[in-house]
């Protein structure tokens, strides 16, 4: 790093404490989609170090990651959530009636919401049904039969990409993807081409941050929630601003 402050002992210690605290917060969140994102983020970080690591150390890092995932699975609340998910998936695939309780479990309800979103997309592929139109449309589907009453209480499909397409059509889906893909590939370019380690590290941090939203978006419509929209764009602006600022010196 090029600034004196970053080379000092305490800033380095505080940075490591922050990373560990963030990791602990993600684990304790209880969100399975976040847990799925963690090994992907870790693999991206390891891949970013391959140019500096020998094959032996790279394999060791992958082994440590695998052991860490196994250790985390042994935590009672983590194991309970995954066993619960497996049971809900089994019950959902075995269910035959839309009124089966398996259709309103945590996982089963998501599958039903995704099914409803896919039906909306099939009926309105180009323009969608407009913001806020998901619940109204699903209610209409319910009255036609083939859907559970629980679906009429849901205001979104709990999938960022399906939500964007169902509500705003093709343009909404493309915009949602670009909101994450454009800065990610920009940071990837910076990561590959910058000669300064601090800028490369900032670019990597930005890529990992975007990936968390991209992966959790598979089971949640995060960017439809105002607090998370503010968090995403504020953090993105700060990271990209730092990259731009440091690139001038």
Contacts of 166 (CB under 8 A, 6+ apart): 117, 120, 121, 124, 128, 129, 134, 157
Q: What is the pLDDT of residue 68?
A: 76
**Could you tell me how far CA 237 lies from the centroid of its own chain?**
18
Q: Give 182-200 pLDDT, tens digit per residue.
A: 999 999 999 888 888 888 8
What residue ranges do the domains of the chain occupy?
Answer: 78-158
- Of 73-82, 178-187, 213-222, 236-245, least confident by mean pLDDT is 73-82
Q: What is the pLDDT of residue 52?
A: 62
Q: What is the pLDDT of residue 31?
A: 73
Mean pLDDT score, 86-91: 88
Burial string for 141-158 (b: 16+ CB within 10 Å, else e) reads bbeeeebbebbbebebbb
Share of the chain above pLDDT 90, in %: 27
User: What is the Cα–Cα distance from 76 to 65, expressed in whole angstroms?
Assistant: 19
Q: Is the CB of residue 31 less than 8 Å from the CB of residue 228? A: no
Q: What is the pLDDT of residue 104?
A: 83
Q: Is the pLDDT of residue 148 over 60?
A: yes
User: What is the Cα–Cα distance from 104 to 137, expressed in whole angstroms?
Assistant: 19
Could you list the beta-strand ranges (E) of 123-248. Answer: none
Mean pLDDT score, 105-126: 90
Burial string for 63-96 (b: 16+ CB within 10 Å, else e) reads eebeeeeeeeeeeeebeebeeeeeebeebbeebe
Q: What is the pLDDT of residue 39?
A: 80
User: What is the Cα–Cα distance from 144 to 104, expressed in whole angstroms?
Assistant: 19
Residue 157's nearest CA partner among 182, 176, 179 is: 176
Exposed, middle or buried: residue 222 (CB in 10 Å: 0-12, 13-18, 19+)? Answer: buried
Mean pLDDT score, 14-30: 76
Mean pLDDT score, 41-60: 70
Mean pLDDT score, 58-80: 75
């Amino acid at each position: 790093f090029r600034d004196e402050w970053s080379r000092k002992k305490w800033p380095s210690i505080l940075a490591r404490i922050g990373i560990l605290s963030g990791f602990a917060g993600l684990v304790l969140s209880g969100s399975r989609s976040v847990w799925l994102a963690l090994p992907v983020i870790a693999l991206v970080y390891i891949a970013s170090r391959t140019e500096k690591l020998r094959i032996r150390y790279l394999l060791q890092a992958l082994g440590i990651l695998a052991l860490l995932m196994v250790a985390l699975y042994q935590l009672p609340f983590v194991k309970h959530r995954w066993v619960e998910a497996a049971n809900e998936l089994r019950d959902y695939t075995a269910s035959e009636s839309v009124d089966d309780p398996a259709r309103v479990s945590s996982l089963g309800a998501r599958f039903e919401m995704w099914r409803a979103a896919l039906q909306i997309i099939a009926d309105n592929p180009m323009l969608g049904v407009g913001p806020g139109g998901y619940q109204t449309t699903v209610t209409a589907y319910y009255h036609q039969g083939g859907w559970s009453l629980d679906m009429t209480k849901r205001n979104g499909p709990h999938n960022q990409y399906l939500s964007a397409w169902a509500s705003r059509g093709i343009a909404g889906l493309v915009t949602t993807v670009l909101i994450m893909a454009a800065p990610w590939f920009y940071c990837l370019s910076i990561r590959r081409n910058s000669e300064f380690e601090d800028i490369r590290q900032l670019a990597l941090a930005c890529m990992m941050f975007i990936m968390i939203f991209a992966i959790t978006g598979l089971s949640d419509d995060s960017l439809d929630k105002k607090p998370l929209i503010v968090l995403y764009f504020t953090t993105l602006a700060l990271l990209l601003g730092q990259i731009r600022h440091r690139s001038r010196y």
